[in-house]
Each structure stands twice: as structure tokens, then as C-alpha cells.
Structure 1
Amino acid sequence: MFNNKSILITGGTGSFGKRFVRKILKDYKPNKVIIFSRDELKQYEMAKVFSQDKYSCMRYFIGDVRDHSRLSRALVGVDYVIHAAALKHVPAAEYNPFEYIKTNVIGAQNIIEACIDQKVKKVVALSTDKAANPINLYGATKLCSDKLFVAGNSYSGHSGTQFSVVRYGNVIGSRGSVIPFFLNIKSDGIIPITDERMTRFWISLDQGIDLVLKAFSVDYGGGIFVPKIPSMKVIDVAKVLAPECEIKIIGIRPGEKLHECMIGEDDSPYTFEYDDHFIIQPAIHNWYLEPTRFGNGKKVQDGFSYSSDKNTQLLNSKELLSILQKYTLNNSELVFLDEVQERSTVPLNMTSILKNEIPLQMK
């Protein structure tokens, strides 16, 4: 799919971008892989791992999705785009709403228009469970972004750029994830939990990448891809990571939900189920009625919803610990063991970290 093609990743220095680049360089022979982001330090750090000397296809472009002209220039000759750039911090969005709209909404519009103008073949935008039935500004901006990307297929026409969306929950090990946060504060003896009832969806970076690749593989645009992934109470995650610590209930933060939802009841008429994922088809133009779109998918029942508290697939402590064995902790970030050597990181045994056998300063 990506052999001899040019791929651009917005926000490409983040956890997803770095893991996706590793996957692409391993499995394909792309013409170019362009990292488009606004943080020169993160690009410098990433370029030390994926250097142009070692990978001649790599390119690093400084730019912001708010800047349409820069985007348009960067997209010249690009075949595929993964849109991962976003402002994501829920409480910060409540206090800085204009900035989130500029990046998450106007930025999405800029991506869509620039990709159509530059005749990009396909775009997959990363979304979040917070975009379904949003109660916070971050979720509202991502819902708006999702709607823009779905509608982008109307602007591009049948032979133009195809736009799809991938929506998933909390990524284990990503920057800002609660798991490295818990691991780094467990030495204090107290783990803060906003509400003991709170549940979340959990997905690994590799699962997220597989879903993005699946979205690229279909021959139409407009679908919102939702993975079937497990849920777990946040308090249970804390007990697995720091069983010796006291749990302190601190109250829900501004804009925070008790439970997350990835498919709301109102989307059920347009949702089709597959073995390991769902696809919410576009309601516009009655596209969801076209048999070529849903293939062997089975339409869900009216009133169906997919939420973290009613999810029948639960992540237990043994499974979480098994997943964590693939990581080590480095500077407050979970790092895959297969990345340790490239980062010049001293590997730390996750079992020892969980047992407090390694002091915090070594982490």
C-alpha cells in the first residue's frame, strides 16, 4: 500500500507518530515519510532515531495545522496523510477554548482543503472516545473535526481525496497516559483518583496503528472506525500498578466524564459491526445504505451504544500486567522494549518497577 508512496503525519513526533513511522519503515519502502509538527526539539529528538542518513525517505517539516499555506506547501506530492495533530488536555481545553478550536477544528478544515487542493489520495484522522456525546470542549472540538472529515468526502467528490476517521480510547503508554503518571508518583504512597466508579477504554499503540491501516485499506471514505477494546476501572488500574499505595478520591476534574462512549445510541442506525471493530457510516447522502460500503458488516440494533461502563470486554489485572511487560519506563514515559536500544535507554524490568525495586530517580 505504501511502497513508493509519500506519507505525511501531522503531529508526527507524538507517541502514535513515532510508532507508526517504525511500522512503515519496517514493512514498506515509502518514497517519503514527512513529519509535520511545530516542536523543533521533538523533531530533533526523533531525527536522532529516524535519521535521513539511515532512512533516506525521512523528512522533517516545521509547521502548524493552523497555517493553511504551510500545509498546502508541505502536501505537494503527498499520497497519504495521517492527521494526529491535536490539543488534547481536557481541563486545559475548558480554560483555553479558543486555542483548541483553532487547532482541532480550524486545523481540521485546513487539512481537508489543502489535501483536496493537492490531490492527496487518502486521509485518516485520529479521533477520541471523548468525541461521542461530548460534555467537554475538547470532545466537542473532536466531534466537530470528525464531522468535517466525514463531510470532506462531499467536497472532494467521488474521484477525489477520501477521508476517514479512527476513534479509540485511552492509549496505554502514550504521553499523558495515566499509567506512567501512576508509576511515577507511586513512591509518594498516595494515588489520586477522581472517582472510584470511573471506567475507561484501553488500547495499545500497536492496536491503534492496525486500525489506521485498516481504515486505509478500504476503498471508500467517510467511515468512523471504532475498535473493539476492553474497559477497566481507573481505580483498578491504580491498584494493579501501586497495590501498596493509599487511594485518595479527589473529585472529577472540569469536563471529565465518569464513563466514556465511543458509539452513542443516535449513531446506531448507521453503525455496522465486524469481527474486531465497528464502522459508523455517514448519514449524509444516505451513504450508509450503500451495500458496497458495509460489505460483510452486520448492522447493530437500534439503540445500541458502546460505552466503557457497559462494555462486556473487560481488562483484568493479569492482562494489564502482561501488556506492561512490553514496556520500560524512561523519563516519565513508557517506552516499548524494542525501542530501547535506539533511544540509548537502559532497560528497566517492568516487574521490578511495579514492585518498587527500582528507585524513582533511576526511572
Structure 2
Amino acid sequence: MGVFTGKTLMITGGTGSFGNAVLNRFLQTDIGEIRIFSRDEKKQDDMRHEYQAKMPEVAEKIQFYIGDVRDLQSCKTVMHGVDYIFHAAALKQVPSCEFFPMEAVKTNIIGTDNVLTAAIEEGVEAVICLSTDKAAYPINSMGKSKSLEESVAIAKSRYSGKTKICCTRYGNVMCSRGSVIPLWIDQIKAGNSITVTEPSMTRFIMSLEEAIDLVLFAFEYGNNGDLLIMKAPACTIQTQAEAVCELFGGKKEDIKVIGIRHGEKMYETLLTNEECAKAVDMGNFYRVPADNRGLNYDKYFKEGDEERNTLTEFNSNNTKRLNLEETKAKIASLSYIQEELEKMNSK
């Protein structure tokens, strides 16, 4: 992996879907050590046994640390000797955060501040913070807390010394823990109708592999304080539900509409109009540099500011819209889906 050769990578919230995907991508490379930092000892124990069974020759590269990003000392304890951090620890379920917003504040905002404070003090080379499209024009507690996470990261980058801090922002990661496709598969297997909140909603869709690609792009090409965004396609919730029905033998005519949940948007935004003023189009990605003007605003009234560029808001309504066959193909390419289809066909 070149730059990762012999290095120590730490993943906060490492027992989640993203952490597992990183392990599957990195473990059999020449990386030195991967630290899994999280607060759930049961998930850590399950992960330990899983990788000892399926990758015994490299499983010793994984080191597990019980701790909580909400606790600064906990972060400092695990940080010694770490070269790079992928900060994935988060509360990300929209309804849960809506009912318990202070819990989202503690993990997503204070937790990020703790991780970055410890990383800067320890001289970690780079920290990539994972954010979400819900942080752009946020209307729910999860999105608001992730928006402030981004603000914390950008503010910290202004005095982070040798530590590079970048954020990545991406849309719905298909088949990640707590996402809707596994729920629909379970509903179909149980012989029930699958439930959708609002059929005409649009959502960006991407795979866990693409989420890792975005983080690695930020790691390689991002400058300190940057926000990196991948140009993901989107589809309607109805199209996504129909695609899952076709793959798993569900009845499209029985799709049940249950109404919008707490804090849900009709469409999501990855790049706001305001961010477009400074954004750089990098082909498959956008890079939004940090605004590093000082607090002395008086001089900007005297000197003015440079002309904004011509990019416009990038959202799930104006990105490439996948049709049913394209959506089905994208979903079918996921290893999780292939494993579930194999289980179903073997019965």
C-alpha cells in the first residue's frame, strides 16, 4: 500500500461496517498495525474471532482497544505510536439522534474534538474524519451534529501543526449497519411487505468500497482543512425498493408506504451552493478548501474577495439518476448481497 507500509492505522468506531471493510481491504497488505478503538467489547470479541478464523496469517496485525471518543483521556491513551486515523465513530441513526440529540452532540461533536486534540498532541500524521450528506443544509439532529463535526475539524486544522486533518462527506452507504437494504431483505424472507417511508425521495447510493476509496483519496490528495466529496449517483427510494424485490423475489405491488420519519429530507445535498464558491472539481471528486481568512473582517470590506466560481449545488435530485436496471446492478455487485442470495439459493 506504499504510504501505509509498516505504519499504524487507527479506526475509531472500528467495529462498524466501515471498520470491517477497511480490515478486509488492508489486512493482507504490508501495513504494520490496525488499531480498532471502540466501546463495545462484544463487537470487538466477535471481530477478533472472525478475523482469527478467516485471516489467521495476518490477524495479529489487529489490535483492539476498549475506549470511548467521548473521553479525552481514553483517546490519548490509545494514540501513542499511531501514524494515521480514520475517524468513523459516530451516532448516525437519524431518528435516534432526533430523540436523543445530546447523545449525538457528545459523540459526533465532542468526540471528534477529543480525537483531534489527542492526535495533534501525539503528532499523528493524518486524520480523516468521516461525515455525511446530512451535514449539508442540516434539518435533523444527526446532520446538525455532523455539520458541527466538520466545523470542529476545519477549526482544528488551522493550528494542527504536522497533523493533516481532512473531512470526507458521502451519501447512503448500501448495506452498512442499520441501513435499509438489509431490513428489506429480512422483510422479504419473512414473507412480509417491504416498507418505504416516501417513494419519491432521492438518495445518493454508494458501496463501502467506494466509501474507502473516498477516504483514501482524501488521504492522498487532500490538503489540511479540506472537505472531500465523491460524485455519487442517486435513485429514488421506490426504485431502490423495487430493485431489492426483483433480486430477492419480493412483490413490488406489495411495497408499503409508511410515511416520512423524524428528520428525513426529500433529497440530500453533498455540495452546497455556498461551498461551490471555493470548490475545486477534481473529476470524480470535489475538494472544498478551508476558508482560512482571519477574524479581522474589516479588511475584507476594504479589499473585497475573489470572484466565486461557476459550480452549482450538487444534490441527489440533480446528480445522475439510476434507473431500475442500473440500481439493481449496483446493488447486486455488493458482496453482502451476493452472500445473502447464495444463502437463499442454497436452501
- Name the TM tier (shorter chain): 0.7 to 0.9
Give deviations 1:190-233, integer Å, cap 9, x for gaps: 22222222000000111111111111112621111110111000
For residues 130 and 348 of structure 1, the distance between their equivalents in structure 2, rounded to whole angstroms, comes to: 29
Structure 1 residues 230 and 197: CA distance shift in structure 2, 3 A: same
Alignment of 1:323-362 (within 5 A): 323-327=330-334, 334=336, 347-349=339-341
Which residue, 97, 113, 121 being the options, matches 2:101? 97
Which residue, 194, 198, 204 being the options, matches 2:197? 194
Q: Aligned residue for 2:20?
A: 18
Which residue, 172, 175, 178 being the options, matches 1:176? 178
Consecutive unaligned residues of structure 2, counting only runs of 5 or more, are 295-307
Q: 2:269·2:316 contact (CA, 8 Å) conserved in 1?
A: yes
1:259 aligns with 2:267: yes
Paired amino acid for 1:50: Y
Q: Aligned residue for 2:40?
A: 39
Between 166-175 and 183-192, report the one with greater CA deviation.
Answer: 183-192
Structure 1 residues 348 and 234: CA distance shift in structure 2, 3 A: closer
Secondary structure at the aligned position of 1:156 is classed as: coil
Which residue, 322, 329, 332 being the options, matches 2:329? 322
Which residue, 205, 208, 212 being the options, matches 1:205? 208
Q: 1:273·1:300 contact (CA, 8 Å) conserved in 2?
A: no
Residue 348 of structure 1 and its aligned partner are, at CA, apart by 4.6
Q: Aligned residue for 2:159?
A: 155
TM-score (norm 2): 0.88
Alignment of 1:41-120 (within 5 A): 41-51=42-52, 54-55=57-58, 56-120=60-124
TM-score (norm 1): 0.84
Q: Aligned residue for 1:340?
A: none
Q: Aligned residue for 1:141?
A: 145
For residues 182 and 321 of structure 1, the distance between their equivalents in structure 2, rounded to whole angstroms, comes to: 14
Paired amino acid for 1:323: K
1:240 aligns with 2:248: no
Secondary structure at the aligned position of 1:165 is classed as: strand
Secondary structure at the aligned position of 1:82 is classed as: strand
For residues 168 and 224 of structure 1, the distance between their equivalents in structure 2, rounded to whole angstroms, comes to: 11
Paired amino acid for 1:41: K
Structure 1 residues 327 and 208: CA distance shift in structure 2, 3 A: closer
For residues 171 and 62 of structure 2, the distance between their equivalents in structure 1, rounded to whole angstroms, comes to: 29
Q: 1:169·1:201 contact (CA, 8 Å) conserved in 2?
A: yes
Paired amino acid for 1:256: E
For residues 326 and 309 of structure 1, the distance between their equivalents in structure 2, rounded to whole angstroms, comes to: 24
Which residue, 296, 310, 313 being the options, matches 1:301? 310
For residues 118 and 247 of structure 1, the distance between their equivalents in structure 2, rounded to whole angstroms, comes to: 52
For residues 270 and 154 of structure 2, the distance between their equivalents in structure 1, rounded to whole angstroms, comes to: 16
Which residue, 257, 268, 272 being the options, matches 1:249? 257
For residues 306 and 47 of structure 1, the distance between their equivalents in structure 2, rounded to whole angstroms, comes to: 40
Q: 1:68·1:110 contact (CA, 8 Å) conserved in 2?
A: yes
For residues 126 and 333 of structure 2, the distance between their equivalents in structure 1, rounded to whole angstroms, comes to: 32
Paired amino acid for 1:319: E
Paired amino acid for 2:321: L
Which residue, 221, 226, 231 being the options, matches 2:224? 221
Give deviations 1:13-49, integer Å, cap 9, x for gaps: 11111111121123x3122110001111111111123
Q: 2:72·2:114 contact (CA, 8 Å) conserved in 1?
A: yes
Secondary structure at the aligned position of 1:85 is classed as: coil
Residue 76 of structure 1 and its aligned partner are, at CA, apart by 0.3
For residues 45 and 333 of structure 2, the distance between their equivalents in structure 1, rounded to whole angstroms, comes to: 26
Alignment of 1:262-301 (within 5 A): 262-285=270-293, 300-301=309-310
Structure 1 residues 102 and 348: CA distance shift in structure 2, 3 A: closer
Query: Alignment identity in percent?
Result: 35
Secondary structure at the aligned position of 2:4 is classed as: coil
Secondary structure at the aligned position of 1:12 is classed as: coil
